[in-house]
Structure 1
Amino acid sequence: MNRREFIAKSSAAAGLLAASGQRRLWAQTPADVRLEIAPLKLEIAPGKHVETIAYNGQVPGPLIRWPEGKPITIDVTNRTDVPEIVHWHGLWISSDQDGAMEEGSPMIAPGGQQRYSFTPRPSGLRWYHTHTYAGHDLKRSSFTGQFGCFYIEPRNEPGAYDQEVFLTLHDWNAYMGAATDASMDASYEHATINDRVLGAGAPIQVKQDQRVLFRIVNASATITHWLALAGHSMTVIALDGNPVPVQARVSAIRLAPAERAEVIVEMNQPGVWVLGETRADIRKSGMGIVIEYAGQQGEPRWAEPQETLWDYRSFAHPEPASAQPDQRVPLLFQSKFRGHGDFDYWTINGKSYPKTDTPMLQEGKRYRLAMRNKSSDDHPVHLHRHTFEVTSLDGKPLSGLRKDVIVVSANSTAEVDFVAANPGPTLFHCHQQNHMDFGFMMLFRYA
């Protein structure tokens, strides 16, 4: 049974479970936030539209901004003709609220409703998105506009700033294109920051000497993006919503699918500039936005960044982690060629989901995921409902860097530690949609 069949067989019963008793509850206690999943004809440029699915008729969905530790209720209505679900990415919440069917969260049947109730934590930049199967249908799941920012307000901000800007990166109109190894991969016609291609939306207005904080989410289904602000450098203050132990200045940031970065830019170069993809072909497809200083006019300028190096070590301590793991969990990533004109099939320790192993966790113990990627693809792997510390990259130790997504580069190794502090089924998977759909998932369970 593959993931699609599992969803199809589970959705009807799950939808009934989700609906039972909730209608009376909804009438008695209004929700803090309401989301409606429905088709949308999105105008990404004058006269240019994409047909998609979105939250509340907008892309990205509404920004949810909420104080850490304050309970929240979110009502979701599914106006599509297929089962849906919303995953609250990066939050430490229970499995039945997390929004992953594999963990036991109920699917929302077509025309159905679901109430999510939890206390948001930890603080920082999280996000929400659909967590369904797409397979060969590249108009489903994370290929759509079902994503939005979820900012959990901390007691103290990690950096002082004058202006705050949320940006979401996405790629549109996916199709199956040939990869270099004769397998298939997803390619795209258009790219946007928020809901517009470069030059089609209103510019971001700034003033000289401002410190602008950009909170950036890569909501692409499969594409890693390199982003630079022409004429400026960026100081990285947080990754995946967690303050970095070492704030470092870079010319460009790299964000794999589901990764987030928060950067401070000192506005010290008056003019009209492009914040966009460093690769010209992707920038020309729309991945960019105009930054305009007050009193400045003219055509937006692009200048190549001085360098596009990206290394997690730049934001971490070089010393080994002080705490030692109670147990190591070896994880080997490989692919199987399925034939010309199809996606590869993915395995963890030689097995594809749902036949992958199910390691048992004991609450309170520290686990080290020792990952070895023997494939020729990079993998942005995500652990649900937990935050991990990056402890080794290609055998070189580091510490202090806390994330929930890490890119395990092709033919490389990476190790991360996490404490089993949130009981319940816990999903681990590659956040590239076609990798996840074709086997790259496993489930941890608590003893």
Structure 2
Amino acid sequence: MEDVRTRNLSRRKFMKLAFQVGVGVMAFSAGRHLLSGQVKSSLYTVTGGIREITLEAWEIDWQLAPGKVVKAMAYNGQVPGPEIRLSEGERVKIILKNSLKVPTTIHWHGVDVPNEMDGVPGVTQKAVEPGETYTYEFTALPAGTRWYHTHSLEGGQLDRGLFGPLIIEPSKPDAFSTDRDYTLVLDDWVTNPGFSPGDTQRGRRDLFSGKGMGNMMRGRMRGMMEGMMGMRNKEAHDTMTINGRAYPDTLPLQVKEGELIRLRLINASSSHRHLIHLAGHQFRVSHSDGNPLAAAEEVDAVPIAAGERYDLLFRADRPGSWFLSCLEPGHAEAGERLILIYEGREKAKPEAEWMKRLNLNFWSYSKGKGQNLLPPPSGRTVIYDFVLSGGMMGSDVWTINGKVYPDTDYLRLRKGDLARVRFMNMSMENHPMHLHGQSFRITEVNRQRLPDPLVKDTVDIEAHMGSVEIEFTAQNPGDWFFHCHKSRHMKGGMITLAQIRE
């Protein structure tokens, strides 16, 4: 079948893209995405010691899998956008050129940028109008697996592909050095005629309401509960991708026996949580949201909510061909899997180990041993209690303490204050809450104190009275978005601001 990924590019854009790939203005590392090569960052320019990168956003036809073509929005003509690799502490200037028909911005997720560079339209900047450019300039901090994405809700931009990986290499040797380093960006897509990423009034596909893999009790119960509450509703997503492709179009991971491999997982989905498992192997979780753990934790499968990232290590010690898959009901069938192939075993039939999944050791926040990476407070301790609710009877109103943004209660802090935020989720959906501008530590989950808190910027709060307590030292002045990373929930009002003053 014809590959239509660049079919509707103008000649000007096609030639421009070809030139960038050949000569380059940024880290377009295919090897870092999925292929085995470690291609050096060459696609950029340097002026006055500052790295300069151009990201242009425009609409394209994008083939997710044979027969599945979507109208996507892309950075530099690809989904995900080009992988940017920077050095810790490096100054960078990134120029956004908007060739879309709608306004847009870029948010640097997990990066401690100045407030005016944060990319939130109406809060930190004016949206970049069609035909305009905007320059973001910041220092690449902290090190780790970060990412960039649109922060405009117009046209379902995140749902349609406006995101990409941003990796900040540590200035000191990494305690978790590996032989190969792959980035896997997970996403959910709409391909059904009559549906659109912004359509929030349609019924869920059977695939995600307990059928598809419906013999699993969790899937059946979720479908029953959502149906009774009028919630079988919101996501029309029917295709799951890894690096912009759905199986069988996903590219294989290539390894050699004996190698230590790092997988950088980024969940760019607008709605779904994923559960990643590699048949025949165990993971060691080394980083959470880009931040190193004190010791890597061995697990079989890793749940990852929208906006989260995990670095996973594994030893290539079982030669053959194996499936890396999502174990959430229906996700593998919807395309969320790829094949791990050992050198010399290219003709081996991939194994899945499906029947062993119920005995797997899953990652959880309580299993991680975090490092003390945050500065100590020098001011007050300020406590906030936030009750998350909404979505009842099919509505798309999502509240914090019964209010929707911009009428929610804000965190009002002075630099040096310790903010303690206690979340209680009274809704029937999980909420991955993301804080812009600085990281926090998770001190309590479901009333269980964590002795070695993880440092993160996104925390997933379970449905049905799940609770989480976090703390952070207010250190980056400005007005910072603090919101659920599910696009529908954010659009429905589940947003507050952390207002930090000198």
**TM-score, length-normalised on structure 1?**
0.88
Q: How far, CA to CA, are the matches of 1:217 and 1:158 in structure 2?
A: 21
Tell me which residue corresponds to 1:18: none
Does the residue aligned with 2:489 lie in a helix, a strand or coil? helix
Does the residue aligned with 1:44 lie in a helix, a strand or coil? strand
Does the residue aligned with 1:32 lie in a helix, a strand or coil? strand
Q: How far, CA to CA, are the matches of 2:301 and 2:411 in structure 1?
A: 38
Instruction: Please state if 1:52 is matched with 2:102.
Output: no
Instruction: Please state if 1:405 is matched with 2:458.
Output: yes
**Which of residues 282, 296, 302 is equivalent to 1:253?**
302
Q: How far, CA to CA, are the matches of 2:313 and 2:78 in structure 1?
A: 27
User: Runs of 4 or more off by more than 3 Å in structure 1?
Assistant: 28-31, 321-325
Tell me which residue corresponds to 1:104: 124
Displacement after TM superposition at 1:303 (Å): 1.2
Matches within 5 A, 1:350-429: 350-398=402-450, 399-410=452-463, 411-429=465-483
2:164 alignment partner AA:
G
**Which of residues 188, 203, 209 is equivalent to 1:171?**
188
CA contact (8 A) 2:150 2:157 kept: yes
Q: How far, CA to CA, are the matches of 2:330 and 2:401 in structure 1?
A: 36
Cα deviations across residues 210-268 of structure 1 (Å, max 9, x unaligned)? 11100110110000000101111100000100012342111100000010000101111
Instruction: Please state if 1:119 is matched with 2:139.
Output: yes
Tell me which residue corresponds to 1:332: 387
Instruction: Please state if 1:277 is matched with 2:339.
Output: no
Tell me which residue corresponds to 1:215: 264
CA contact (8 A) 2:322 2:339 kept: yes
Aligned residues: 413
Cα deviations across residues 328-387 of structure 1 (Å, max 9, x unaligned)? 1111111153x65xx431111121001112231110111111111111211100000110
Q: How far, CA to CA, are the matches of 1:214 and 1:309 in structure 2?
A: 17
1:424 alignment partner AA:
G
Q: How far, CA to CA, are the matches of 2:122 and 2:319 in structure 1?
A: 50
Displacement after TM superposition at 1:107 (Å): 0.9
Does the residue aligned with 1:186 lie in a helix, a strand or coil? coil
**Which of residues 28, 39, 42 is equivalent to 2:62?**
42
Q: How far, CA to CA, are the matches of 1:190 and 1:226 in structure 2?
A: 15
Q: Structure 1 pair 199/396, CA: closer, same or farther in 2 (3 Å)?
A: same
Higher relative contact order (CA 8 A, sep 6+): 1
Tell me which residue corresponds to 2:353: 303
Tell me which residue corresponds to 1:14: none
Q: How far, CA to CA, are the matches of 1:280 and 1:232 in structure 2?
A: 21
Instruction: Please state if 1:150 is matched with 2:166.
Output: yes
Does the residue aligned with 2:82 lie in a helix, a strand or coil? coil
CA contact (8 A) 1:198 1:290 kept: no
Displacement after TM superposition at 1:185 (Å): 1.6
CA contact (8 A) 2:433 2:482 kept: yes
**Which of residues 430, 437, 440 is equivalent to 2:494?**
440
Does the residue aligned with 2:499 lie in a helix, a strand or coil? strand
1:80 alignment partner AA:
L
Tell me which residue corresponds to 2:401: 349
Q: Structure 1 pair 336/285, CA: closer, same or farther in 2 (3 Å)?
A: closer
Q: How far, CA to CA, are the matches of 1:99 and 1:334 in structure 2?
A: 27
Displacement after TM superposition at 1:317 (Å): 6.4
Does the residue aligned with 2:443 lie in a helix, a strand or coil? strand
Displacement after TM superposition at 1:308 (Å): 5.2
CA contact (8 A) 1:328 1:369 kept: yes
1:89 alignment partner AA:
H
Q: How far, CA to CA, are the matches of 1:80 and 1:322 in structure 2?
A: 41
Q: Structure 1 pair 121/335, CA: closer, same or farther in 2 (3 Å)?
A: same
Cα deviations across residues 393-444 of structure 1 (Å, max 9, x unaligned)? 1222113310000011111211001000000001100001100000100112
Q: How far, CA to CA, are the matches of 1:32 and 1:425 in structure 2?
A: 27
CA contact (8 A) 1:352 1:439 kept: yes
Does the residue aligned with 2:339 lie in a helix, a strand or coil? strand
Q: Structure 1 pair 82/298, CA: closer, same or farther in 2 (3 Å)?
A: same
